[in-house]
Amino acid sequence: MAATTPNPKRGSQGFTLIEVMIALGIFAFGMVTLSSMQLHAMQGRSSGRHTTQAAAIAQTQMERLQQQAWASVAPTAGWAPAVTVANTVQSSPDRVEQAYTVDWRIADLVAGWTRTIDVRVQWDEPKRPGRSLVISGVRFNRDAV
């Protein structure tokens, strides 16, 4: 059996132009994918920031309603008239003024003893209009005790 000897010229030639082009193509595809993922992450960060602001506004309104006297927190017929709250949402590189509308509804759960309170916050985002967040709670008549 004859032994084959490796071609000394073939081992010292390095990469061919086609191999380099294929490697660059794979690298470019990976970089485009990474940049696309980065853009989606930035949009998600902005949306999350708005949701966090809305939750803080809803929680503040819920606390106000919970602290008022029982007689002043009367049941509403549906949602109360909306109140607009302007908040500055800090996002790099600039600050964006965002308008949130807040409304609530109150209903008797057990007449004279407990009421349910729902607070709704609505806002619009550039690519996602009509966003809303609702929190709910139960108010006990502490004044009657």
pLDDT tens-digit map of 44-53: 777 788 889 9
Kindly state whether residue 3 falls inside one of the protein's structural domains.
no
> What pLDDT shows up at residue 96?
67
> What pLDDT shows up at residue 145?
56
Domain of residue 85, residue span? 14-140
Within 8 A by CB and 6+ apart from 125, the residues are 46, 47, 50, 131
> What pLDDT shows up at residue 59?
95
Kindly state whether residue 6 falls inside one of the protein's structural domains.
no
Per-residue tokens: 7: 């071609």
pLDDT tens-digit map of 108-139: 999 889 999 999 999 998 788 899 999 999 99
Kindly state whether residue 126 falls inside one of the protein's structural domains.
yes
Is the pLDDT at 93 greater than 70? The verdict is: no
Kindly state whether residue 1 falls inside one of the protein's structural domains.
no
Give the whole-angstrom CA distance, residue 96 versus residue 47.
13
Averaged pLDDT score across all residues of the chain: 84
Kindly state whether residue 34 falls inside one of the protein's structural domains.
yes
Report the domain count for the chain: 1
Is the pLDDT at 63 greater than 50? The verdict is: yes
**Three-class DSSP category at 15:** coil
> What pLDDT shows up at residue 11?
55
Q: pTM value?
A: 0.67
